[in-house]
Structure 1
Amino acid sequence: MKKHLGIALVAAVTCLVLPVVGYADDSSGATTTAKVSLQQNPDDTAVKITSAPTITFGNLTNGAKTTGQAASNIEGALTVHNPGLTSGWKVQLAATQFTMGEDSNTSLKGAEMHFTPGTIGPSTTGVAGTTVSPINQAGVIFAAEAGHGVGDCTDTFAADNVTLDVPQQWGTVGTYTSSLTWTLVNTPA
């Protein structure tokens, strides 16, 4: 019995004194995937213009030539909502001559509005504003390339992004208005 107890004691001490060496396989590991599927909201299936600015130029002097008159007030931004379509889109702007009331014979003949790109947001990748002079000739003012322009994209114009030129002329004193038509074309820019 003493002999067995001695052997057990020597075995126990040997285990405590000698280091235990283990080896890990450095080449083991795993790569997996995680997936999610986005479904189109059935109530939100089309690219659309959700807002467009209203522009005021303030007061001009009758009989004076005006060049580069910056807008005195711009209310709102041009916003396009894209619910996830990848086709790209364009916004065209057309404007009528400035007329007084319903009388198209009383107009600011030769007046031109000029738009330069405003601040584009929230992302500028693949989305851009362009320079356009829309009176009597529609032009593309805001566009997204195919694969871009998803979500809400805005073009926010500062006063100096929208200017007015009026050649020297005498006209009837009063307020003149131009109708701005913002048209969405859901095709690649």
Structure 2
Amino acid sequence: SPRFSCFYCSIFIMNTLILLVCLSVGLTLAEEKVAEKKHEKRGLFDLGYGYPGYAFAHSAVPAPVPVYPAHPVPAHPPPPHPLSAVSHVHTTVTKHVPVPVPAPYPVTVEKQVPVPVPAPYPVHVPKPYPVLVDRPYPVHVEKHVHVPVDRPVPYPVPQPVAVPVAHPVH
């Protein structure tokens, strides 16, 4: 009967659709597994360090710019402006500074010039010498006197003695 044929057709179509959906899901999962297997090294750019991705601008998807139809409008050309020649004038500006400037003065510079000496000659070297001074008052002069000190003699030093204790000391 036509009713059975339509019923069987719908079951056949439904089974075919389920089979196609299962095949497509299986293929996508197989492709994802292939995509997950990655043997090459990744660079430092892929590391997020806890921050979101490297979207340098906003993350919104740009909308297409609307294109409006152009309407021709009669426009008058602008009146031509006369072009003026550009010339640069170079001038020297002299400013007088009201600050006193000291006049130059001669400076003596001592330079060490090596001079060859043919033979040794005596050179005066200042040395201390005694000077007699009359003093009308007595001056105390400290004299150091040597005091004999006995030699150190060894003597006994008391040492601690270990005493056994019945209970442990903490």
Same fold (TM over 0.5): no
Question: Given the two structures, how large is their TM-score scaled by the length of structure 1?
Answer: 0.20
Q: Which has the higher strand share?
A: 1
Choose 1 or 2 for highest CA Rg. Answer: 2
Choose between structure 1 and 2 for higher RCO, CA contacts under 8 A separated by at least 6 residues: 1
TM-score (norm. length: structure 2): 0.21
